[in-house]
Amino acid sequence: MKELNHKHIIYVHEAIVECTKIYIVLEYVDGGDLFNVLDVEDSFSEKKTKIVIAQLASALKYIHSRNIVHRDIKAENILVKKNCDQNFCIKLADFGLATQATDPLYDMCGTPAYMSPETIKKVGYGVKVDVWATGILMYFILSGYLPFDNDNKGPMIAYHEIVHFEPEFSESCWPGITTEARDIIEKMLKKNPNRRLTSEEIMQHNWISIPT
C-alpha cells in the first residue's frame, strides 16, 4: 500500500515499527464503509451506483496495471468520503489479501459471496477476480441483496451456485434499471475470465458514459 498513490485508494501516510507492534497511519475517511451506507439506504439509484463503479474501476485499473490483485473487493472494504470534489467519493481499503499476480494464483481466499468461479475451482486466476467481485458488488448495490446467500445455505451450496451462476434480473427486484446497467453486470460476471471485462473496459463501457 505504501507504493500506491491513487485518489480512490486509501493512502498510507506512515508505518511505525516497534519491537512487538506495527502502527499504520492511514488517510482519514469520514463516511464509514459502503456496506453501512447501503444498510441505511437499502439500495442506490443507478446514477449513484455509476459513481461508485466508475471510481472503483479506476482504482482497479491502477493496481491491475501493476499486476496487483486485491482479492477481497466487497462493500465492507470500500470507504466513503463525505467532503470531496464529487457528491460521493470512495476509497478502496483493506489490502490484507492483495498480492502480485504475475503468475496464476491458486489459493482460495476472499469473501465467499464475492469469490469468482475460477477461484473456487482452483484452476488458476489473476486480476479479473476483482472484476467478478465488482459485478457482484454492483448487483448488490442496485438490488439490495447478494445473489449468493452463504449464511442460510452454507458455503458448499453457495460455491455450487457461483460456478453455475447466470445473472437474472426480475422486474420486482430491478424496477427501472436500464439495459446498459444489466449489460455491464452480465459482462463482469462472465464465468470464463477470458470473456470477462477488464477494469479498463469497465470504464469504457457505454453505461459509464451515458447520463442517468
Could you tell me the three cell numbers for 32?
Answer: 464509514
Q: Which residue is listed with cell 519491537?
A: 19
**Strand 68-69 with 99-100, pairing:** antiparallel
Q: What is the DSSP string of 70-135?
A: ----SGGGEEEESSSSSSSEEEE---TT-EE-SS-B----S-GGG--HHHHHTS-B-THHHHHHHH
pLDDT tens-digit series, residues 107-118:
999 998 899 999
Of 130, 32, 26, 13, the C-alpha closest to 79 is 32
Quickly state the pLDDT bin for 155 (edges 50, 70, 90): low
- Where do the domains of the chain lie, and which CATH numbers do they carry? 31-209 (1.10.510.10)
As a whole number, mean pLDDT of residues 35-52 equals 88
Query: How far is C-alpha 185 from the geometric centre of its chain's CA atoms?
Result: 12
- The Cα–Cα gap between 113 and 120 comes to 11
Q: What is the pTM of this model?
A: 0.91
Q: Length of the chain, please? A: 212
Among all residues, which ones are annotated catalytic? 72
Over 90: is that where the pLDDT of 174 sits?
no
Please give the Cα distance from 56 to 60 (Å, whole number): 6
Instruction: Compute φ and ψ for 118, nearest 5 degrees.
Output: -70, -30
Which pLDDT does position 35 carry in this prediction? 92
Among the listed residues 51, 110, 46, the one whose alpha carbon sits nearest the alpha carbon of residue 77: 110
pLDDT (tens digit, 9 = 90+) per residue, 73-109? Answer: 999 999 998 766 556 899 999 999 999 999 999 999 9
Mean pLDDT, the chain, as a whole number?
89
- pLDDT of residue 18 exceeding 80, the answer is yes
Write the burial class of residue 43 (CB in 10 Å: 0-12 exposed, 13-18 middle, 19+ buried).
Answer: middle
